[in-house]
């Protein structure tokens, strides 16, 4: 399979384009664990009040957001969860796409072993913290180049079936004022694997 490689685009284009592509993680023993991306959120950079880079905010935690498109931005939240983002655009734009949900596709038994609280397979990766736990994605992968890495990358899906993309407000960004209502969350219509329907 060929790698998906459209990271130079703006965050909205990347967020929509990632839907239907396959996120691949290689385990320590060389086995693949993967899922099809069914939900994303775009964060537009320093003008976006919901982005970690709002107003040029730059710290060791979010430094990866300032890399060129195609790098991973993995952060730790609430003292317990990791979230996986794809950096997009040019260096120092600090725009990224949060991958919110996957449809499990490969290594489902491994996902179940890591996500023992999940009662159904559709709960394995239906949320940003769930999918990072299921695929063993943590801060050690922050800053990784998804275009070249042998540990984590995004594969181009076969010619996609036609699917309708819905645009909704992002989740958990009420603090961002008018930015909280902007339809920057994208999901595949009808997927049972999205975090919220």
Supply the range of the domain harboring residue 122.
Answer: 11-188
Average of pLDDT values for 49-65?
Answer: 96
Q: What is the pLDDT of residues 12-25, one digit of tens each?
A: 999 999 999 999 99
pLDDT at position 79, please?
74
CB 101 within 8 A of CB 55: no
pLDDT at position 159, please?
64
Average of pLDDT values for 178-185?
Answer: 96
Number of structural domains (the chain) is 1
Q: Which residues of 29-67 are buried (b: 16+ CB within 10 A; e: fewer)?
A: eeeebbbbbbbbbbbbbbebbbbbbbeeeeeeebebbbb
**The domain spanning residue 157 has which CATH number?**
3.10.300.10
Tokens matching residue 37: 């991306």
Asked whether residue 77 carries a pLDDT value surpassing 90, the answer given is: no
User: Does residue 1 belong to any structural domain of this protein?
Assistant: no
Rounded mean pLDDT of the chain? 95
User: Does residue 156 belong to any structural domain of this protein?
Assistant: yes
Question: How far is it, in rounded angstroms, from Cα 3 to Cα 5?
Answer: 6
User: Does residue 176 belong to any structural domain of this protein?
Assistant: yes
Q: What is the pLDDT of residues 126-136, one digit of tens each?
A: 999 999 999 99
Global pTM value: 0.95
Question: How far is it, in rounded angstroms, from Cα 48 to Cα 55?
Answer: 8
Asked whether residue 59 carries a pLDDT value surpassing 70, the answer given is: yes
pLDDT at position 125, please?
97
User: Does residue 162 belong to any structural domain of this protein?
Assistant: yes
Cα–Cα nearest to 194, from 96, 128, 134, 112 = 128
Question: How far is it, in rounded angstroms, from Cα 99 to Cα 76?
Answer: 14
User: Does residue 6 belong to any structural domain of this protein?
Assistant: no
Asked whether residue 141 carries a pLDDT value surpassing 70, the answer given is: yes
pLDDT at position 21, please?
96
User: Does residue 129 belong to any structural domain of this protein?
Assistant: yes
Q: What is the pLDDT of residues 142-164, one digit of tens each?
A: 999 999 999 999 999 876 567 89
């Amino acid at each position: 399979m060929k790698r998906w490689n459209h990271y130079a685009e703006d965050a909205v284009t990347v967020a929509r384009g990632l839907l239907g592509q396959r996120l691949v993680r290689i385990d320590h023993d060389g086995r693949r664990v993967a899922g099809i991306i069914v939900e994303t959120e775009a964060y537009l950079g320093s003008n976006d009040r919901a982005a970690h880079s709002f107003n040029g905010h730059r710290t060791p935690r979010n430094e990866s957001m300032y890399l060129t498109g195609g790098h991973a931005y993995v952060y730790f939240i609430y003292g317990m969860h990791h979230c996986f983002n794809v950096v997009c655009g040019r260096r120092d734009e600090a725009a990224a796409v949060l991958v919110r949900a996957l449809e499990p596709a490969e290594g489902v038994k491994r996902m179940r072993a890591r996500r023992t609280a999940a009662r159904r397979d559709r709960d394995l990766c239906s949320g940003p913290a769930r999918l990072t736990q299921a695929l063993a994605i943590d801060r050690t992968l922050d800053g990784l180049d998804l275009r070249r890495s042998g540990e984590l990358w995004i594969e181009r899906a076969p010619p996609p079936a036609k699917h309708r993309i819905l645009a909704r407000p992002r989740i958990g960004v009420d603090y961002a004022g008018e930015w909280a209502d902007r339809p920057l969350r994208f999901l595949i219509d009808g997927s049972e694997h999205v975090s919220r329907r």
